Structure 1
Amino acid sequence: MLRSNRFGRLACCVAVTMVAPQAHARSPDTLLQPTTIKDWRAAGMDGTGCFWSPRRNGPILFAAAGRTAVTKVAGRVVVLAPAPEARELFPFTHDAWTSDRLTIRVMDSAVVRAMGEETVTTDAMLIVTTGAKVRRMRGSLICGS
C-alpha cells in the first residue's frame, strides 16, 4: 500500500490525497489533520500497511506501515509506535498505536467494502485518545501493498 513507484512516490496513496481543497477541512471535533506523502517519508514509512480516511477518496488522517504510524495534530507530524497491547491488524501493522500524548486504536469491522488487486477496503473506527478526551471517528481502512 505504501510502496514507492518508479517516480519515488507512494503509488496507491497519491490519487487518494488529490481531492478538492474543501475536503481537507477538519470538523471541529476532529483532532487529526490530513497527512501527505512528505509526512510519511519523513517518518521513514514505506511498504505494506494501512491508511484511514473519514470517507471514500477523502484525506488520509492516519497511516501505518510496519512498526511506524503517522498522523498530524496541530500542523505537526506525530510518529506513533505500536502500543504494548497491540495486536496484528493486517500483516505488517497493528491495531493500537501510541506516542507521548496520543493513542490511536483501529477498530476494523472486517466487512469488505472494496477489493483491488493488492488492496482491501473495510469500514473502521479510529478511537483517538488525548489525555482524558476520547474521540470516535468512523471511516474507511484501506490496507495492502
Structure 2
Amino acid sequence: MRKLFVLTLFFTGFALNAQNYGAINEILDRLEERKGINQHLENVSIDNKKFVLLKDFNDHTERSFLIVKGKDVTYVEMFDDKATAKSTSNVFSGDVIRKKNIISVRADKLENKKIPIPVAKTLLLTKQKEILYLIDINSRDRWIDEEAYAKKSK
C-alpha cells in the first residue's frame, strides 16, 4: 500500500512538472516572439513590400517608407512642418542584402545622384500576430508592413 502511494505521488509530481514546463515554454516563446529572437522567417518574402515608419514631434511629423523590389530598395523620407503645413521629401535608392532575418539596406543615391555617404540601415525582420515588422538594430525603430498598417487604420 505504501509503495502504491509513493508511486502515485511520483507520477503526479512528474505530470505537474510536465504541465509547468509546457506553460513556461509557452511564456518563453511569446517573449522571444516579442523580441524577434529565434524566429525562422527565411521563407517569408519581402519582395514588393512597403514598410512604414511614423514619428510625431512637437514641431513636425516624419514619415518614412522603405520599398523593397528584389535586390533594389527605395527609401523615402517625408517631413511635414506643423507650423507652415509644408512637406519636404528625400528619395534615396540603393540595394538590399538579406541574410536570414537580418536585412541590410544601403541607399547610395539621392534623387538618382550619387551621394558621398550612403544611408545605411540594418534591420531585423520579425513577425508578431501575423504582422511583419522591421526593427532597426541601432535605433529600435519599428517599421510596420504597409498592408497591415492600412488594415489597422480602416
TM norm. shorter chain > 0.5: no
More helix by share: 2
Larger Rg: 2
Higher strand proportion (structure 1 or 2) = 2
TM-score range, shorter chain: 0.3 to 0.5
